[in-house]
Structure 1
Amino acid sequence: MIESLQNFVAACPEPLQWLAVALVSAIPFVESYFGSVIGVLMGLPPAVGILVAVLGNGISMLLFVNSAHAVRSKVRQGKEGKKPKYEKIRRAFDKFGIAGVSLVGQTMLPSQITSAALVSFGASKQKVIFWQVISIILWGVIFGVLAGLGMPLLTK
């Protein structure tokens, strides 16, 4: 899949490759971390690759959070909540809070799913967005820097 996404980015005209990186970073499981790696490997300056990957993932996450919040608001009108679908995330949420799940959750599930689940559990939409943005930036920078540092190793 990553190779197909790299081919998609490479097929775009050079001035639009940054936009292609943002688009692939909006895909769950690609996120800012693989998006930033793809951007760096495609020849974008690391800062640009990381920035557009973070923006693509961030915009996608915001759409999921706002959708989940709207659905939760509708469902909760006059109804009692049922057992959450994502029980594992719920236990982590109860144990580590929004920050912990946001920062570590991307190792298990995409930020879009994690953030939507947190909001569906009743977590503050603003806090979820805040911590998810920090997580998206952190993971994107870590993987983008690693890809940037690894590029010289690949060319030797």
Structure 2
Amino acid sequence: MMEQLNAWVTDLHPVLAFLAVFVIGVVPFLESYIGTLVGTAAGMPVLLAGTGAVVGNLLALAVAVWLGDRARRGLDRRAQRPPSARRQKMIARVDRYGVPVASLLAPTLLAISLTAFGMIAAGLDRRQVVIWQVVTVVVWALVFGLIGIGALRTFG
């Protein structure tokens, strides 16, 4: 099966291969790490697969940040209400571990873009959240790119 996939990707125009992993990168829960893994395991150069998946994931992240900021502003207008249990729980976890750790570990439980939305909507520092979410996108893509290379060497 890997040989057939590699043959198909080899015949695929590089722009189409890039767009395929870009689209995977945009999709929550697939994101940069699955896009990079799929592209690399399919025989794309790891740099091309990683770049496509990361760019797609960063697009989804930008939309999530924008929506989270809008949600935060909407919540600020209703500031007289006490914070919800969900918001208190998220802020308590981030306070406990910090934005860097929460960002880097979040993909194990939730999509990167959804995590960014929640953190910003909860009122965390937008700049810090964006920086660490971008780092998370790249780190997870690198890790899964290496896994893809390992899979190719093992099974290819």
**Class of the TM-score when normalised by the shorter of the 2 chains:** 0.7 to 0.9
- Structure possessing the higher radius of gyration over alpha carbons: 2
- For the 8 Å contact 1:89–1:101, the answer to whether it is kept is no
> 1:139-154 to 2 correspondence within 5 Å?
139-154=140-155
Match of 2:38 in 1: 38
| 1:117 aligned onto 2:118 | yes
In the alignment, what sits opposite 1:98? 99
- The offset of 1:93, in angstroms, is 0.6
Structure 2 unaligned spans of 5+: none
Give the fraction of aligned pairs with identical amino acids, expressed as a percent: 24
CA RMSD of aligned residues (A): 2.2
Return the TM-score normalized by structure 1: 0.84
2:41/2:151 contact within 8 Å kept: no
Q: How does 1:37-56 map to 2 (within 5 A)?
A: 37-56=37-56
The answer for unaligned runs of 5 or more in structure 1 is 1-5
Aligned-pair CA distance for 1:14: 2.5
Q: Name which structure has the greater RCO, CA cutoff 8 Å, separation 6+.
A: 2
Matches of 2:49 and 2:125, distance apart in 1: 30
Q: What's 1:21 paired with?
A: 21
TM-score of the aligned structures, taking structure 2 as reference length: 0.84
User: More displaced, 16-25 or 69-78?
Assistant: 69-78
Distance 1:86 1:140, change over 3 A: farther
Is the 8 Å Cα contact of residues 84 and 90 (structure 1) preserved in structure 2?
no
